[in-house]
Amino acid sequence: MSQRLLSAAFFTLVLISVACSPVKKNNKPTPAGSSGSAVQLRNRITDYAQKYVGSTYKYAGTSPSGFDCSGFTSYVMKEFKIKISPASSAQAKEGRAVALDRTQPGDLIFFGESKNRISHVAMVVKRSKAGIVCVHSTTSRGVIVENVSTSNYWKPKILFARDVVSK
């Protein structure tokens, strides 16, 4: 009888410990103020965007046969039913402003001389202490992923960011 009680007690402890253990769904932390599903959407957007790394640059291009910067961002967002203009100057006014140090995957970063002279747009893949990593279509290298915060070329041209995902 006591052997059965010990076995039942052990089984109960195992069940309790399993039931009370946290379940880890992924290794990506949820940013403050974001729901899990919003984070998943943002990660799906950036994962999809990165599938086009290596695509060539094409002036006014809006398809995998060739993208310009804003054609690329609008093409990616369209896949997720997020409608944005194919022009970077118009994208710069869409969604809502977000501080550069609060950007999240899927946010757009704009580059240029001033707010009235937008010359480029890129999509945030991740932000960390090391900087802001973006996926974007460049005239010289096509669609690439790079840290724009450490780039001698892009860093001085960074202007602001917009959140077009959670409009």
Q: Name the residues annotated as catalytic.
A: 69, 120, 136
* CB within 8 Å of 109: residues ≥ 6 apart: 100, 103, 121, 122, 123, 124, 132, 134, 148, 158, 160, 161
DSSP 39: H
d(CA 20, CA 35) in angstroms, rounded, equals 22
Q: List 131's β-bridge partners, or say none.
A: 128
d(CA 122, CA 30) in angstroms, rounded, equals 22
Element (H, E) at 17: helix 2-20
Phi and psi of 39, rounded to 5°? Answer: -65, -45
